[in-house]
Amino acid sequence: MSSTSPQNVIQRFTYDWLIRFCELHPTDSNNFICPHYLNQTDFLQIPYIHARPLSRYSIVSELFDRLTKRYTPLIVHGNGYMYQDEMLKFVIPKTTKTVVLTGFVKFLLMKAGTITKYIEQKKIFFNLERLVISTSILQPSEFTYLVRQCKTVVCIDCSLTKPLPYSKVWPLISHCITLNLDVRNLYFDDKMSHALTQTAENGPWFVTMRNLCLNEETVFPIVNYYMTVPNGHFVQMMFQKYDSKRSCKSMAKTVKTMFTAAGFTVDISAANENLGFKRTITIKKMSNDLIRIRFSRPATSMHVQGNVIM
The CATH number of the domain holding residue 149 is 3.30.110.10
Query: Taking Cα atoms as reference points, which of 306, 304, 305, 280 lies closest to residue 294?
Result: 280
DSSP for residue 217: H
pLDDT at 214: 93
Total tally of structural domains belonging to the chain: 1
pTM: 0.77
Q: Is residue 250 part of a domain?
A: yes
Residue 140 has pLDDT above 80, yes or no: yes
Residue 255 pLDDT exceeds 60: yes
- Tell me, yes or no, whether 21 lies in a domain: no
Strands (E), the chain: 32-33, 44-45, 74-83, 99-108, 124-126, 130-134, 137-138, 152-165, 178-187, 206-212, 234-239, 265-272, 280-285, 290-297
**Res 143 pLDDT > 80:** yes
- Other beta carbons within 10 angstroms of residue 246's beta carbon come to 15
Total number of residues shown for the chain: 310
pLDDT greater at residue 303 or residue 291? 291
Please indicate, yes or no, if residue 277 is contained in any of the structural domains: yes
Q: Is residue 53 part of a domain?
A: no
Domain-embedded: residue 110 = yes
Look up the domain containing 107 and give its range.
72-284
Q: What is the mean pLDDT of the segment spanning 155-172?
A: 96
Residue 55 lies in a domain: no
Tell me the backbone φ, ψ of residue 200, rounded to 5 degrees. Answer: -60, 155
The answer to whether residue 26 is domain-embedded is no
Mean pLDDT, to the nearest integer, of 3-10? 49
The yes-or-no verdict on residue 36 having pLDDT over 70 is no
d(CA 209, CA 229): 17
Q: Tell me whether residue 300 is in a domain.
A: no
Average pLDDT over residues 240-251: 82
